[in-house]
Each structure stands twice: as C-alpha cells, then as structure tokens.
Amino acid sequence: MGEPLVSVIVPVYNTQLYVERAVHSILNQTYKNIEVILVNDESTDDSEQVCKALKKKDQRIRYFSQVHQGVSAARNNGIRQANGTYLLFCDSDDFFSEMLVERVVTEFKHKNCDMVHFSCKSSDEELYPSSYVNEEFLEQKEVLLRYFNDSSIFRNMYSCCYGAYKSDIIKNNNLVFNEKLVLGEDGLFTLEYLMYCHSIKFISDELYIYVQDFDDRKSATAKMNQISYNEYELLCIYLKTISDKWDMQLTEEEKVKVYGSCYDKLIGRLVRLAAYPPFRSVKKNIRLLDAVINNSYVSMAGDYYRTKRKTDSQQIPKLMKKRKAILVWLMLRSKRKNYYKLYGKKKFGKSIWKDDDIVEYKVK
C-alpha cells in the first residue's frame, strides 16, 4: 500500500511575488505524495499567471479560480476539490519547513491521532509573535479542558494553518469555514473540528513560517494592530459550539474549567469593547451589551465563573448575572484608562462579521 496522499490548500489573492515561494516549499517537502490546490480568489495582480505557470511545471499542482469571496470561501473551495487523506492549509505569502508534511504524516500513522498541531515561527516577533506549543499527545477532552486556560493551545489553535486534519472527518461532518466572518474563522474551524476528534498531537518544532517581510503585509498588520475587533462575539459562538456538543459529558468541576474560563475571557473582551467602543451611540452600545448578557449560553457560563486574579472585578460578573446592562457598561468603562496603559489607544473598532464596516472613533 502506498503512502497516503496529502492535500495542501493554498488560497491566493494578490500575492504574485510570494506564491511561488509558498508552492516551492510544499513541493520540496521530504514527503513527496502531495497535491497542491491553488485557489485564486479573483486576484487583481498577476497571481493567476504565476499560478498557471507553476501548474505547468509540476503535475502535483491543481489550479482553480473563483469570483472574489474571501479567504474562507477559497479554503472551502479547496476542501471540496481535495483528494488527500490528510489536509493542510498554507497562506500564499507564508511557507512550510521542509519536514512539515513528513512529521505530520508520521504522527498520524504512529499515534493514530485525529489532528496534529505544530509551532509557528514568525519572521517578525514585534509585528506578530511566534506561536509555540509543547510536545504533547492529548485526548480530546483534555484539550477542551485546557482550551481557554492554556494560552499556548488557545493561540496555536486560533489558526488553521498551524494544524493538519483528516479529510474524512471534515467531509463526513460537513465542516467548513464560516464565510461571513472576517476574523476568527480559523479558530472556529479548528474548534468545530476538535469536537469530532479523539486525540491530538502537538509538535513543538517550528514547522510553519509566518512572514511579514513585505510592505503590503506589514501595512496590513500595522493597521490591524490599530483595530479593536469585537472578539466577545467569537466567544459567544465558541460557548454555543462547546455546549451543544459537550454539555452532557462534562462534570460540574469540568464546566468550571471550560465555561467559567470562557466567561473570564468574555469579560476581558467586554472591557476591550468599552475601552474601544465601535459605535457612536451609547444607547446602541448598551443594547449590544444587553444582548450579550441575555444570551442563554453566556448566562449559563456565568454560573460556573470563578475569579482567577486578585485584580478581577467582583462587581462586573455579579451585575452581568443580574442583567444590569447599564451598570455593567459603566463599570466596564471605568476600567478603560488602565486598559489604555496596557494596550494603547486604538483608532478603529470593527465587528468580526464581513458585512459590518470599520468604524472610526475617538478614544477619550
């Protein structure tokens, strides 16, 4: 029996200068039974010509194009086209270490795991820090219990590019990237995939290289650092995803670790919302906050919340449980000066949803 085919999905959008580097890093892997699926998301530069030229040089490359819909749609297109036993994702301006695929296949075969995650090396730590994980083999439940408590696991699983997946798990469970999101679609995809795993292997080696060594991406990263995304919205989605699948399987103590820790992160994101409010109307902010507080999953998670630090507010979670949105908003706003000292003043506020525009505002 031959070696399993590995599909590497590469969404392409206006990366004519860099996509060849990404593709060569995949083709030059020590493991050779690979197909590279290039999905051009209607690039406006010469990316299409570069991709077609690459395809002519190596029969392992397959090329597809689509009307511009975003990276999630391109990845979903790639998933539909993939023939491999295992799937990986590579952004067209990043690249793989030459041992990445071999290491992944070895772990899948020898550990009989359902997902492999590896460390990421950033080319510029100041703009984007590297993502490291410890060398571990963990059962699904252990990953879930540590998901919101272990920052290395949370940050690593926030990107689909730092992991490898079984094609049959994705396709049998109709897993796709949410095309309505502009942020967090990676983390949501990996979390939803985790729901169908038995075990996960984490590799400490830096096998994926994230690059910011060109002006366009540096500018985009710098602008992103000025934007405050409303990540509390993501945490509400995460709560629903976990609760719908796992609630009956968790003990009360485990719910404190999972739901309570997610609630703790949610409070932090709500402090960020109050520090960098993306709407000009205070009433609209309070209505938005009221909707979060009254979310049934958020309300449930609040029952399992326990303070973790001496500096944690005692009043905010109490007021949230009593659903006093106006008082919660005032308490959150009172923390903004300390937040500015830690994280600076942002210029923009933005929803995670594609249809919502960036809103400029003044931080006082």
Tens of pLDDT, residue by residue over 183-226, are: 899 999 999 999 999 999 999 999 999 987 655 554 454 455 55
Q: What is the pLDDT of residues 13-50, one digit of tens each?
A: 999 999 999 999 999 999 999 999 999 999 999 999 99
Alpha helices, DSSP H, located in the chain: 19-27, 47-57, 71-81, 100-111, 140-146, 151-156, 167-172, 185-194, 215-225, 232-246, 252-255, 261-275, 282-293, 296-302, 315-321, 325-333, 336-343
Q: How do the domains of the chain map onto residue ranges?
A: 6-222, 226-355
Residue 31: count of CB within 10 angstroms of its CB: 17
**CB distance 73 to 66 below 8 Å:** yes
* Spatial distance between the Cα atoms of 57 and 116, rounded to a whole number of angstroms: 30
Whole-model pTM: value is: 0.92
Residue 276 has what pLDDT? 78
pLDDT digits (tens, 9 = 90+) for 142-199: 999 999 999 999 999 999 999 999 999 999 999 999 999 988 999 999 999 999 999 9
Percentage of residues of the chain with pLDDT beyond 90: 73
- CB contact at 8 A, 195 and 222: no
For domain 6-222, which architecture applies? Alpha-Beta Complex (3.90)
Residue 91's pLDDT band (cuts 50, 70, 90): very high
Give the count of beta carbons closer than 10 Å to the beta carbon of residue 204. 13
The CA–CA distances, whole Å, from 270 to 87, 111, 150, 232, 327 equal 35, 40, 20, 6, 13
CB atoms within 10 A of CB 72: 23
